[in-house]
Amino acid sequence: MTDKFISIEAIAKRYPGASGGEIAVFENLWLSMARGEFGCVIGHSGCGKTTVLNILAGLDEPSEGAVIVDGQAIEGTSLDRAVIFQSHALLPWRTVLGNVAYAVTSKWRDWDRARVKAHAQTFIDLVGLTGSEHKRPSELSGGMKQRVGIARALSITPKIMLMDEPFSALDALTRGTLQDEVRRICLTTGQTAFMITHDVDEAIYLADKIFLMTNGPGAVLAEIVENPLPKDRGRTDLHRHPYYYAVRNHIVDFLVSRSKTFAADVPGHDPRNVPVVRIGVSEPTIVAAPRAIETHPAQTIAR
């Protein structure tokens, strides 16, 4: 199955530098994801994660390259790609229901009020905000605001969900429950999701694939780590899984040391064929070329 539902092809993003020239946030970046996959990007601050996500959302344009979604190059934003913003980005003059309904009417312009309301209500219920429909964002807690953002994104039944550190501003407890909810929703609806996070555990819990980016400027996608944990993993017993520490250590090692020196350490790095890392019982190993994407992880992991 070589289904590339999302395919980022050779994108670059450059900004005019301080002294006349241009500074490339990243060059020649390739990244692909299959339908229904959950991808997490991890990398240090300023490496260009948000830039990649905004390009994928159509909010920003690459200086070079293209993004293909479902066989078509994207042009600008689309209702097929919903964004959950880090700062929730709710419209403060609208109520919870009003915010979700705004998205619903944007997608289905000809729906009448009752239908819009009923549809919006379904998604408000889904994120557990029943009873708060008529509150304004200023009357909600941070976690509740983020739930509204999730409900708004889900309500337009997008093909892809794009999330830029959606839970980073929340306390651990709220973050946990929202992670559970996002995972449940993505699993039941087969949603394709692309998420930026700084939280390694969040990535291990949610992602099928974890994309590791080196430090910028001139950041590259260094490795794709396949999540060795079973699909039915739970958030609270994550650390009991035999592969948990291996995968966690691998990512943390990357962030702590290898992300700085990657370019020097791996001179022949081919941005088009980013190595896929599969965590085994012994030591994590690079399982050669990108062909590995095609084989099903579960088969190679089996002892």
Ligand X SMILES: Nc1ncnc2c1ncn2[C@@H]1O[C@H](COP(=O)(O)OP(=O)(O)OP(=O)(O)O)[C@@H](O)[C@H]1O
50 binds Mg ion, rule: CB under 5 A:
yes
Please report, as residue ranges, which positions from 131 to 160 form the binding site for other proteins (by CB under 8 A).
136-138, 156
Tell me the closest approach of the beta carbon of residue 211 to ligand X, in angstroms: 12
CB 206, CB 195: distance < 8 Å: yes
81 binds other proteins, rule: CB under 8 A:
yes
Kindly give the interhelix angle for 142-155 and 96-107, rounded to the nearest 10 degrees: 20
295 binds other proteins, rule: CB under 8 A:
no
Among 20, 76, 267, 268, binds other proteins (CB under 8 A): 76
Helix/strand/coil percentages in the chain, nearest 5: 35, 20, 40
Among 72, 77, 236, 261, binds other proteins (CB under 8 A): 77
Residue type, 280: G
Tell me the closest approach of the beta carbon of residue 299 to ligand X, in angstroms: 34
Lookup: tokens for 272: 């088009």
Kindly give the interhelix angle for 96-107 and 113-126, rounded to the nearest 10 degrees: 120
Chain centroid to Cα 13, Å, comes to: 19
| Number of amino acids touching Mg ion (CB under 5 A) | 1
Q: Which stretch binds Mg ion (CB under 5 A): 44-52, 131-139, 171-179, 245-253?
A: 44-52
Tell me the closest approach of the beta carbon of residue 286 to ligand X, in angstroms: 24
Question: Which is closer to other proteins, CB of 124 or CB of 200?
Answer: 124
Tell me the closest approach of the beta carbon of residue 57 to Mg ion, in angstroms: 13
Question: Which is closer to ligand X, CB of 39 or CB of 43?
Answer: 43
Question: Which is closer to Mg ion, CB of 50 or CB of 95?
Answer: 50
* Residue 216, contacted partner among other proteins, ligand X, Mg ion, none, CB below 5-8 A by kind: ligand X
Chain centroid to Cα 163, Å, comes to: 5
Question: What are the residues binding ligand X (CB under 6 A)?
Answer: 15, 25, 43, 45-51, 216
Contacts of 23 (CB under 8 A, 6+ apart): 14, 15, 16, 17, 217
- In angstroms, the CA 146 to CA 140 distance is 10
CB 56, CB 194: distance < 8 Å: yes
Using DSSP bridges, classify how beta strands 81-84 and 64-69 pair: parallel, antiparallel or unpaired: unpaired
Residue type, 110: D
Q: Which stretch binds other proteins (CB under 8 A): 76-84, 183-191, 237-245, 284-292?
A: 76-84
54 binds Mg ion, rule: CB under 5 A:
no
51 binds Mg ion, rule: CB under 5 A:
no
φ/ψ of residue 238, rounded to 5:
-55, -50
216 binds other proteins, rule: CB under 8 A:
no
- The greatest distance separating any two alpha carbons of the chain, rounded to the nearest whole angstrom, comes to 60
Tell me the closest approach of the beta carbon of residue 196 to ligand X, in angstroms: 7
15 binds other proteins, rule: CB under 8 A:
no
CB 35, CB 2: distance < 8 Å: no
Question: Which is closer to other proteins, CB of 90 or CB of 276?
Answer: 90
Burial (CB < 10 A; 0-12, 13-18, 19+), residue 19, is: exposed
| Contacting residues toward other proteins, per CB under 8 A | 57-59, 76-79, 81-83, 85, 87, 89, 91-93, 102-103, 106-107, 136-138, 156
| Contacting residues toward Mg ion, per CB under 5 A | 50
